[in-house]
Chains A and B, each alone.
Chain A
Amino acid sequence: MSAVREAPAPREGSAHEGDAVPVLEVRDLERHFPASGGTVRAVDGVSLTIGRGEVLGLVGESGSGKSTVGRCVVRLDEPTGGSVALKGTDITHLSRRALRPLRTDMHLVFQDPSSSLDPRMTIGQIVAEPLRLHRLVPRSGLRARVEELLGQVGLRPEHADRHPHELSGGQRQRISLARALSVGPDLLIADEPTSALDVSVQASVLNLLADLQRDRGFGCLFITHDLAAVEFLADRIAVMYLGRIVEEAPTARLFAEPLHPYTQALLSAAPVPDPALQRTRERIVLSGDLPSPLAPPPGCHFHTRCPVAVDRCRTEPPALRELPQGRRVACHLAHPDSRLSGEGPSPEHSSPSGGTSQR
């Protein structure tokens, strides 16, 4: 199976100096928000690397901090700690002015297209805006380029004269995508780009993203809660829970053998479009809600909902351990040989790796 594309073949200009330099390197990223009654640790020590032309899927549920990571990466939000390097340049503390030339290297597609598109501009103006601001296309060629971009995202040329409110949510998201692709970025941050789209539209947008990604070779941070979409597009997947990465693995490995109990619960909760199969599936139902990031539980953040948590999980935060096959997991109980399963809180859990301090 060709699912594991480790080092994506560099396309044209492969002799670039940047081959070894990742498009994006995030180190110990923190974004803490002061709040009445404490600090919201929305992002709490996240490290990620995206190579040239690599697609990293960042998966998590609402409130996990995945969107905040995306916003910090494009400096829409100021990280309170850690660093963000774009193609080797540390952009964590660059001024807005110094950052401006780098803006064509990265682009963010937002989650909610209805609030990210100016309702008073026409679609044509919205898509043309980055082209105009970065002077990428002469004024006379704008209309043609806009129509071309609209075509690429599956819209008709006459849509250019409409306003966002005249389009469906799905169509609006395609506008955001057309706008992002207009500058030809090296790094696309796509925050739930397909969540609002219909099945057949989603298929074509995912195909389009995959095609463009392959042809233009941009790296992509694909932020989503949709496991199937991320499986389709991503080379590697990182799973976030309450501001931290709990597991990271090459896509095929993660689906074949999820190690973290949270990843397992996520995978089991997504219904499959097959009634016969769906009836036979065992669902790991998580109890309770996501804990407040104002007062995350001590120890492992997931222990309050974890079906297999033991005493150690309640006190000692698990480190994100490096495992073979390019995997990382933050769980005291997980190790790649004997896969965790929801057997209940059995203290006899077969010798957790490095579990000397247990009991």
Chain B
Amino acid sequence: MSTAHPKTAHPKNAEPASAVPGTPVLSVRDLSVSFRSDTRTVHAVDSLSYEVAAGEVLAIVGESGCGKSVTSMAVMGLLPPTATVTGSVRLGGRELAGATEKELSAVRGKDLAMIFQEPMTSLNPVLTIGRQIGEVLRRHQGLSRKEAKERAVELLALVGIPAPERRVAEYPHQLSGGMRQRVMIAIAVACDPAVLIADEPTTALDVTVQAGILEVLQSLRERLGTAIVLITHDLGVVADAADRVLVMYAGRAVEQAPADELFTAPRHPYTRGLLSAVLRPGQEGKRRLPEIPGLVPSLAAQPDACTFAARCTHADERCGTARPALTPDTGHRVACWHPVAATAPAHEEAAR
């Protein structure tokens, strides 16, 4: 079910998801994840829905604890048994939620792959990188040891590792951080997955290295038509790589929009706060950074209210008593009773 669907030169300028023909490859509906312990329950993700089409990059943005990583672990079926997952995760028409471990492991690494933040903890230090890339190929594509090694060399070249024939026999500790992350990407795309979930892929890397990794991801979606779910907290990375953006706050989706629109006309007060708090290199004077007052709410409750209300300058009674839905159904969606008018300039208000 590999979708080798070549993408045109400037996917960024393409219309948002609705304009991409065909059904989304990954479709998440009403996904909720909670963790139960003896004393309390934490609702990490609360009725989250998103979809991503072939060749599209959807960025999921949010601060730590907002549930963005738990969402992707739930999609991959990698959560521990203490997690309760409800909702639907459809990958190309196949339902993954509630699938057995055996069914899932047939999908993971083949149709659905993931890369993590810290490559050193994901790679096995005592196996050569060729062996680790080959493992996926041998398992899912039944390649022989020799074929797998040849393919591993090709994959290393694909992700921009110089001298791949030599590198393939090296161990993770012999590579730099950026090279390790490229190896992780090579493992992830070895079987030409339909969807690649990249969880903070550049967070542990230097900016000059990050630039290279973002280019690799960009070329993958252009050459292989991979749908990419890019999980990040870095709005600079979002601006660089994403077609569409989903903003999460306290386990819920608060805004979803095409990338350009989100940055020029954010409508949720949280998104606006986030965008005004971000540092812009080369544009900082000694200004005071706008802060978002207050703290992220505890995830123990699932109130029928806007979870951002306590920190929001626009909040009124309704925000505290009814949960706003993410509306409209397509295009620029926002979950707020008092969304900022689409025309208002972005930075003014947050700086109040």
Contact = CB atoms under 8 A, between A and B. Distances in A.
Interface of A: 1-3, 5, 61-62, 154, 156, 168-170, 198-204, 206-207, 210, 225-229, 231-232, 255, 265-267, 269-279, 283, 285-286, 288-290
A232 B282 contact: no
Contacts of B177: 62
Contacts of B260: 275-276
A273 B179 contact: no
B86 interface: no
B78 interface: no
A279 B13 CA distance: 11
Interface string B265-280: 0000000011101111
A269 B289 contact: no
Contacts of A288: 162
Nearest to B277: A203
Contacts of B286: 1-3, 5, 232
B143 interface: no
A198 B233 contact: yes
Contact of A204 (B206, B275, B291): B291
14 contacts: A1-B286, A61-B207, A61-B208, A168-B65, A199-B233, A200-B274, A225-B207, A255-B281, A273-B238, A273-B239, A274-B280, A276-B260, A278-B240, A279-B12
A228 B282 CA distance: 7
A275 B263 CA distance: 7
Contacts of A200: 63, 273-274, 277, 291-292
Interface of B: 12, 63-65, 162, 176-179, 206-212, 214-215, 233-240, 242, 259-260, 263-264, 273-275, 277-286, 288-292, 295
For A206, A255, A271, the residue with the greatest tally of chain B CB atoms inside 10 Å of its CB is A271
A281 to B, nearest CB: 9
B291 A207 contact: yes
B237 A271 contact: yes
Given A200-B292, A255-B282, A271-B239, 10 more contacts: A61-B206, A198-B233, A203-B292, A210-B288, A228-B280, A266-B207, A267-B282, A270-B236, A271-B234, A275-B263
A231 B263 CA distance: 22
Nearest to A201: B63
B208 A169 contact: no
Contacts of B277: 199-200, 202-203
Contacts of A201: 63
